[in-house]
Amino acid sequence: MSLQDTAGTTKLMLDDLHVGQVFRSESYVMDVEKIKAFALEFDPQPFHTDEAASAGTFFGELVASGWHTAGVTMRLLVASLPISGGLIGAGAEISWTRPTRPGDELYVESEIIEIRPSAKNPARGMVTVRSITKNQDGKTVQSITSRMVVPRRLPDSV
């Protein structure tokens, strides 16, 4: 039986997942002031902090830090991937295919790619999830393939 959280959402364990399973998040609009605030704290470069200064740069316009896009993606994943015990990442491969701009409306489509019970610990396993972050035009701005630690139902709890 799946655990229920206090909000009544069914939380999924490793045993409840299958390869090819898809989850889609809500959407999130990238606010220009938040783009600048994030960049000032974590990625203070002119193409992320200032419209005028961004003109002469590689991007030629103000764009969000890729790490901001990654953070927003995580926020959307937390709300759309109901894994028991939470989303606990061991690592990830990330690529930014296209800049995220102010006003972009992002959403994330996630697919279960691999499920691997731990050989050592019967209470958990590693699940690989590919999450594609798209904008309002359906164009991919970021792809991330994450390895997550997911709890497994023990035989005597079935």
Residue (20 or 157) nearer to a copy of itself, CB: 157
Q: What is the closest distance, in whole angstroms, from the C-beta atom of residue 1 to a copy of itself in the complex?
A: 19
Q: Which position has the token pair 């489509």?
A: 109
Residue (94 or 132) nearer to a copy of itself, CB: 94
- Asked if 54 contacts 60 with a C-beta cutoff of 8 angstroms, the reply is yes
Summarize as ranges the residues that interact with a copy of itself (CB under 8 A): 38, 41-47, 57-58, 65-67, 70-72, 74-75, 78, 85-96, 149
CA nearest to 146, candidates 88, 84, 102, 67 = 88
Residue (20 or 145) nearer to a copy of itself, CB: 145
Distance CA 134, CA 90 (A): 23
Distance CA 25, CA 123 (A): 28
Output the DSSP codes for 94-140.
EEE-S---TT-EEEEEEEEEEEEE-SS-TTEEEEEEEEEEE-TTS-E
Residue (41 or 105) nearer to a copy of itself, CB: 41
Q: What is the closest distance, in whole angstroms, from the C-beta atom of residue 52 to a copy of itself in the complex?
A: 15
- Asked if 109 contacts 132 with a C-beta cutoff of 8 angstroms, the reply is yes
Q: What is the closest distance, in whole angstroms, from the C-beta atom of residue 45 to a copy of itself in the complex?
A: 5
Q: What is the closest distance, in whole angstroms, from the C-beta atom of residue 46 to a copy of itself in the complex?
A: 7
Q: What is the closest distance, in whole angstroms, from the C-beta atom of residue 48 to a copy of itself in the complex?
A: 9
Residue (6 or 20) nearer to a copy of itself, CB: 6
- Spatial neighbors of 56 by CB under 8 A, at least 6 apart, are none
